[in-house]
């Protein structure tokens, strides 16, 4: 099972496009499924499930942003706002019409996709930093609109409380139940993205990213694909926003401000642009590292400082280490954690006969 291929023996397109090029990949996925579906929820405490839940939601958002930034080469710093569009759409539908989550969730995604296409329209004319500023404007306009239109925001507080989702009579009100709910959507997002990028559409995205003029010459309608990329990416963001809404039990635009857009950009840059695994690594890294650092500092620091002093020391130190580690990882491997992982893998692939 562990032996590897000694060359490239793919003779059909089907083999070349297979999701699992090697049997080991299939086994690995089966093992992961077993661990995530059975072992983890039974073995770990609620606290760790809560962290995993946050990671699952972040994965959906990071994947969406990576489709746009990593695969299509367009930039957006308006994804926080797209999340809020999804969140408020779902919250309004859930509260005013009493719709269940399996209707509000796609509706939130679709509304975000629509807004995403509108905000993405400048991408037809401009690139790079200019597009970044255009999407920043989108972020601010959406924030302002939600804040000032009570029909959307539900009043001066701009927050709408939603009931917990329920499924077959189970109210998803514990971390354990929400775990399965969020795991399902994280897996769905991963599989969807994996399939998207090996389809005609995904390849068109990559062609647009690598050289848009060449892509146009070989017959790719770049306008269409740029907007499609914005739509799909915003759809993911919208769904991410809906998941946050159901997870917190409230839609509140202050949860989706500019800093969220930046956080998600950081995730995909640290994880690796243009890779599914990179989005996952990035989401895990950005969510988990501050927590691990704090636990580490609490333990080490309690030997030296009193509790009150420690709280002061930890915050600053943690931020400095966090920033330092990001710089460190990007210097060691500019292409992100995904590339780092692939380097490790190829090292062990030929180990111990590396020459």
Partner 1 sequence: MMRFVKAGLGASVIAILAFAAGEAFAQDKEVVFGFQCDRTGPTATVGTVLCPGYHDYIDLVNSKGGVEGYKIRVIEVDNEYKVPPAIEAHERFKKEGAVLEGLYGTPQTAALNKKLEEDKILGTSPGFGSAAAADGKRYPYTFPIAASYWSQAGAAVEFVKEKLGGNLKGKKIAYIFYDNPAGKEPLPILEELSKSQGFELRTFAVPAPGVEMGAQVLDIASRYKPDFVIAHLFGRAPSVSIKEFKGKGYPLSKVVSFVWGSAEADIIAAGGMAAAEGYNTMQFAGVGSDFQVIKDIVAMYKAAGKPAPKEMASSVYYNRGVLNAAMHVEAVRNAIKAKGGAKPTSEEVKNGMEHIKGFTLGGLLPPMELTPADHEGGGWVQVWTVHGGKLTRTKDWFQGYRSVIQKHLAADASKS
CA 66 vs CA 161, 165, 276: distances in Å: 30, 28, 8
Interface with partner 1 (CB under 8 A), residue from 31, 33, 34, 291:
291
Q: Find the binding residues for partner 1 in span 79-138 (CB under 8 A).
A: none
Q: Find the binding residues for partner 1 in span 32-71 (CB under 8 A).
A: 45-47, 50-51, 54, 58
Q: State how far the Cα of 129 lies from the Cα of 252, in Å rounded to an integer.
A: 29
The answer to the question of residue 335 lying near partner 1 (CB under 8 A) is no
Interface with partner 1 (CB under 8 A), residue from 22, 33, 34, 332:
332
The answer to the question of residue 296 lying near partner 1 (CB under 8 A) is yes
Beta pairing partners, 170: 167
Q: State how far the Cα of 323 lies from the Cα of 245, in Å rounded to an integer.
A: 29
CA 349 vs CA 5, 187, 337, 339, 353: distances in Å: 10, 27, 18, 15, 9
The answer to the question of residue 239 lying near partner 1 (CB under 8 A) is no
The answer to the question of residue 299 lying near partner 1 (CB under 8 A) is yes
Q: Closest approach of Cβ 223 to partner 1, in Å?
A: 34
Q: Any idea which residue has 């990416």 for tokens? A: 233
Interface with partner 1 (CB under 8 A), residue from 214, 311, 334, 346:
311
DSSP string of 64-93, one letter each residue: HHHIIIIIS----S-HHHHHHHHHHHHHHH
Q: Which helix (H) or strand (E) holds 143?
A: helix 128-148
Q: State how far the Cα of 130 lies from the Cα of 58, in Å rounded to an integer.
A: 27
Residues making up the chain, counted from first to last: 355
Interface with partner 1 (CB under 8 A), residue from 29, 30, 31, 292:
292
Q: Which stretch binds partner 1 (CB under 8 A): 22-30, 83-91, 271-279, 308-316?
A: 308-316
The answer to the question of residue 346 lying near partner 1 (CB under 8 A) is no
Binding site for partner 1 (CB under 8 A): 45-47, 50-51, 54, 58, 147, 153, 156-159, 161, 164, 173-175, 244, 247-250, 252-255, 259, 263, 287, 290-292, 294-296, 298-300, 302, 306-308, 311-312, 314-316, 318-319, 332-333, 340, 343-344, 347
């Amino acid at each position: 099972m562990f032996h590897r291929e000694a060359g490239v023996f793919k003779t059909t397109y089907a083999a070349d496009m297979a999701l699992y090029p090697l049997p080991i990949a299939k086994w690995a996925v089966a093992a992961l499924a077993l661990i995530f579906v059975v072992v983890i929820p039974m073995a770990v405490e609620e606290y760790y499930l809560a962290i995993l839940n946050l990671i699952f939601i972040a994965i959906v958002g990071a994947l969406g942003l990576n489709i746009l930034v990593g695969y299509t080469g367009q930039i957006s710093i308006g994804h926080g706002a797209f999340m809020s569009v999804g969140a408020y759409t779902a919250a309004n539908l859930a509260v005013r019409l009493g719709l269940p989550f399996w209707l509000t969730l796609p509706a939130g995604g679709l509304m975000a996709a629509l807004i995403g296409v509108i905000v993405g329209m400048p991408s037809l004319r401009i690139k790079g930093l200019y597009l970044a500023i255009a999407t920043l404007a989108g972020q601010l306009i959406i924030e302002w609109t939600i804040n000032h239109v009570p029909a959307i925001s539900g009043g001066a507080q701009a927050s709408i409380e939603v009931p917990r989702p329920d499924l077959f009579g189970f109210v998803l009100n514990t971390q354990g139940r929400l775990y399965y709910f969020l795991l399902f959507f994280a897996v769905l997002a991963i599989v969807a993205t994996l399939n998207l990028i090996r389809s005609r559409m995904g390849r068109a995205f990559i062609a647009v990213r690598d050289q848009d003029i060449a892509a146009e010459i070989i017959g790719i309608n770049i306008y269409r694909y740029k907007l499609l990329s914005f739509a799909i990416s915003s759809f993911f963001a919208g769904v991410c926003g809906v998941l946050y809404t159901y997870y917190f039990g409230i839609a509140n635009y202050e949860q989706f401000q500019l800093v969220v857009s930046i956080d998600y950009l950081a995730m995909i840059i640290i994880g690796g642009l243009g890779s599914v695994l990179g989005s996952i690594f990035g989401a895990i890294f950005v969510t988990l590292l501050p927590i691990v650092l704090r636990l580490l500092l609490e333990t080490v620091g309690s030997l030296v400082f009193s509790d009150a002093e420690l709280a002061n020391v930890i915050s600053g130190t943690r931020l400095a280490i966090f920033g330092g580690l990001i710089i460190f990882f990007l210097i060691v491997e500019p292409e992100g954690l995904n590339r780092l992982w692939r380097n490790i893998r190829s090292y062990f692939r030929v180990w111990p006969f590396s020459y």
